[in-house]
Structure 1
Amino acid sequence: MGYIKKFFKPYIDEAQVYSPGGVLRLLYQQRQDWIRMMSNESPFEPSPRVLEAVEEAIHKAGWYYDSDFVELREAIANYIGFEAERILVGNGSTEILDMIFRGFINPGDEVILSDPTYPLYPIRIEVAGGKNVIVPKILPEYYWDIKGIIKSITPRTKIIIIDSPNNPVGNTIAEEDLKKLLEQNVLVVLDEAYGEFADKPLTHLAKKYENIIVTRTLSKAFGLAALRIGYTIATPEIINYLTKIKIPFNVNYIAVQAAIAALSDKEYLKRVKNDIARGREYLHKEISAIDGLEAFPSQANFVLVKITKPGVTGTDIEWKLADKLVLTRKYTGKAGLIGEYTRITVRSMDENRRCVEALRKIMREY
């Protein structure tokens, strides 16, 4: 049956498959008392308005919905202060990113990334036939090497990707540095999946620059990860172009109604942002005070923790926390990171405290 592979596109056949979970995900499915601090999910239920909207929308599950998502685009437009014609809705921001890669990358085109970064990017770039050009970030803060990025631009460069706040570090790019990249003759994709948690999101730059494409999501601060709602902001020309790639009815009616309700509840969003900020500050302060651990400053809903005690690995911490029913994400060996790391999602204060206490006990054992 090996002959069938002759029909495969080589650059797709050779690409990896992105897996957000693994053994710990399977463990969680077996135990319902785990603390989920591994996937940057919201620790809170969605807004009560969302729950009401979902309950009402389920009765229309047999209907097709407006594939242009006019009502939702208007709600997003009101939320971010852009015209609806500059917004495109996707099945999570991951689908939007995939549309961008498929729409702009020809086989052999280059996309500049800065490791460490979201590991989905290079995989989906390869599926689109693109070539990943990696510019390592600058230690010790893992900040973007702006001069290095600009120097890496060639005639084959199509896109520069900036995720800010960055996953997994949690830091943000300075506005002036992003402007330097926007002054180059390439597309700049600004992934602001964690933008609601940042002190100063940079979405507004899409009002000035034609070559920026901003992607955002309702998965994080709005707590709608399972419903898959993302969107992009760009010029009307880019939006019209990407619309030709978009699959009709790519977002389901129930998710659309939930998103509209979520965007209308400003008080809920304010509470979530405040609670996450307090929890993030607590985790950063308390973890950094533990001998052998160093938490990075973050403007997302997680903290990256470097393990500085000799002989202790990210795998050690991951599994010892799992023994205490706390699930985190090991980041040892991930592209661009030097040393041993784990990433910890901000949860409720009770869960945050349980995680910190578990880390204290674990590190005292070494």
Structure 2
Amino acid sequence: MALPHEHGGNVFAVARNLGLAPERIIDFSASINPLGMAPGVREALTASVDRLLHYPDKGAAELKQALATFHGVETAEIAVANGSTELIHLLPRTFPGRKALVVAPAFAEYALALERAGWQIDYFTLSPTDDFALDAAALAQKLVTGYDILFLCNPGNPAGNLLPLSAVASVIDVCRESGTFLVLDEAFIDFCEEESAKHLIRANPRAVLLRSMTKFFGIPGLRLGYAIAAAETVAQIVAQQDPWNVNTAAQVAGVASLADEDYCRRTRSYIDQERARLAHALSQIPGLQVFPGRANYLLVRILRQGVSARQLREALLAKGILIRDCGNFQGLDTGFFRVAVRLAEENELLVRCLAAEMG
């Protein structure tokens, strides 16, 4: 039975409940690039306002070409979408099957999409005792019992653990041998792009790679994501998509974002340094365990009895800070929460407030 489907980033609803302007809340629950959009995006959006008089480019040709160049793939191997969540919900309806396996803890939308499409869901749950390591041999034993589709996120969400490319290659081989269609969600791989499995996935017609432009490129309000897969797999996905699924502003912002190589370098450098600083500071607070991660967020466990993540969330909200209670993730309990890596001064405020609440 899937747990309730909740998400971070619900800052507008939280602000309404508190009677505050959304700008008054420091949102650590959504893992968005703290540097904001690439500098050229605002200018590109302003310059494209007159394009809104026309329907969006149905095939998103300019964006597809920019993505193909950025990743070194063919345009026929890319399907663009209204956020990667559109694709998560589309895939169970596009490819046949009835039995799904989800590597957990995992993004709640996998289970919701599968439930809505009538799939039976099982979980391959990773353990915090070994930092959510994936045992490929154990996964293979599970898959041979008969699963039609596997959902795997790398880096893991919310754990942040990164499977090296060699381990992902093993999973791809296991899925090929068991006849399981692989959905590999790389929504946060931009922060460690060198570990992307895009070139392995595009060679396999029974696999698809999901990417998001929400997190790394800081444009969640525009809803933009895409899939990379073999051309024949992409053709099947595109055939099921609604027309004009990606609006003009999102297409323009996507092209402008991809063109700024300096922004990409600055983002990776900043997140690597600030994530390390934040992880060290949090680990110094008695009663907290910080898990290693390679994305722009950290998973934290409360070790002190009688303190739950929900209680901590409510206490921090009174100070205008929103964290992600992870108690509704399959495989986690009420002692887990996730925090985004934000600007240095905001991270320092979070650490001070957490230290005060942990006493």
When normalised by structure 1's length, the TM-score is 0.90
C-alpha displacement at 1:25, in angstroms? 4.6
> CA separation in 2, counterparts of 1:202 and 1:21?
26
- Out of 211, 219, 225, the residue aligned to residue 216 of structure 1 is 211
In structure 2, the residue matched to 1:35 is: 26
C-alpha displacement at 1:22, in angstroms? 9.0
Q: Kindly tell me the number of residue pairs found equivalent between the two proteins.
A: 349
In the alignment, structure 1 residue 61 sits paired with structure 2 residue 52 = yes
In structure 1, the residue matched to 2:157 is: 167
- Out of 294, 314, 320, the residue aligned to residue 319 of structure 1 is 314
Q: 1:16 to 1:64 in 2, by over 3 A?
A: farther
Residue type of the partner of 2:220? A
In structure 2, the residue matched to 1:178 is: 168
> CA separation in 2, counterparts of 1:16 and 1:169?
17
In structure 1, the residue matched to 2:99 is: 110
Contact 1:136 1:145 in 2 (8 A): no
Residue type of the partner of 2:137? K
Residue type of the partner of 2:277? Y
- Out of 226, 237, 242, the residue aligned to residue 231 of structure 1 is 226
Q: Please, what is the CA RMSD of the aligned residues? A: 2.0
Q: Per the alignment, in what secondary structure is the counterpart of residue 218 of structure 2? A: coil
Contact 1:46 1:223 in 2 (8 A): yes
- Out of 198, 211, 219, the residue aligned to residue 203 of structure 1 is 198
**How do residues 11-30 of structure 1 correspond to structure 2 at under 5 angstroms?**
18-20=5-7, 25-29=12-16, 30=20
In structure 2, the residue matched to 1:191 is: 185
Contact 1:295 1:304 in 2 (8 A): yes
When normalised by structure 2's length, the TM-score is 0.91
Contact 1:16 1:123 in 2 (8 A): no
> CA separation in 2, counterparts of 1:240 and 1:176?
28
Q: 1:155 to 1:64 in 2, by over 3 A?
A: farther
Which one is further off, 132-141 or 321-330?
132-141
In structure 1, stretches of 5+ residues that fail to align are 1-13
In structure 2, stretches of 5+ residues that fail to align are none
Q: Per the alignment, in what secondary structure is the counterpart of residue 351 of structure 1? A: helix
> CA separation in 1, counterparts of 2:325 and 2:308?
9
**How do residues 84-103 of structure 1 correspond to structure 2 at under 5 angstroms?**
84-103=75-94
Residue type of the partner of 1:111? A
Contact 2:3 2:328 in 1 (8 A): no
Which one is further off, 279-288 or 132-141?
132-141
C-alpha displacement at 1:207, in angstroms? 4.3
